[in-house]
């Protein structure tokens, strides 16, 4: 079984920055066995893709809305994936979820249905 625990959310003014963290723990498979993704869900809306990074750490994809502002990274030594969020906007306000996808080494998916495990989410609120 895999557990994902997000942290780092909070309230920030527009233009500010936050760094989200997602700590991975697993009994059978290690952190390196999973591509990792971040998704968000705003009130009354469906869950949306934000960013993803492959197991190889060489493939990343971003939603158009966050390109150039957000950066996803992973630290194998700490079993943690990060989402650095800069130049935040009020429309970034949402619950952010971390997810793990047991896929091929070079693959990173933008689709939530590809992900096997999910964290509980962390709230990000950006005030104008």
Q: pLDDT digit string (tens) for 12-56?
A: 999 999 999 999 999 888 999 999 999 999 999 999 999 999 999
Instruction: Enumerate the β-bridge partners of residue 122.
Output: 96
What is the pLDDT at residue 29? Answer: 86
CB 17 within 8 A of CB 85: yes
Q: Is the pLDDT of residue 105 over 90?
A: no
Phi, then psi, of 20 in degrees rounded to 5: -90, 145
Stretch 103-124: mean pLDDT: 94
Distance (Å, rounded) from C-alpha 119 to C-alpha 15? 26
């Amino acid at each position: 079984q895999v557990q994902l625990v997000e942290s780092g959310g909070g309230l920030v003014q527009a233009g500010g920055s936050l760094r989200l963290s997602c700590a991975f723990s697993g009994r059978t498979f290690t952190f390196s066995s999973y591509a990792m993704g971040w998704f968000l869900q705003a009130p009354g809306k469906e869950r949306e893709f934000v960013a993803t990074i492959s197991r190889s750490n060489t493939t990343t994809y971003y939603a158009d809305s966050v390109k150039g502002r957000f950066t996803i990274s992973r630290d194998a030594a700490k079993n943690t994936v990060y989402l650095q969020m800069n130049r935040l906007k009020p429309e970034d306000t949402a619950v952010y979820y971390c997810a793990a996808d047991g896929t091929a080494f070079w693959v990173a998916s933008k689709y939530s249905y590809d992900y096997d495990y999910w964290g509980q989410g962390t709230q990000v609120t950006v005030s104008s």
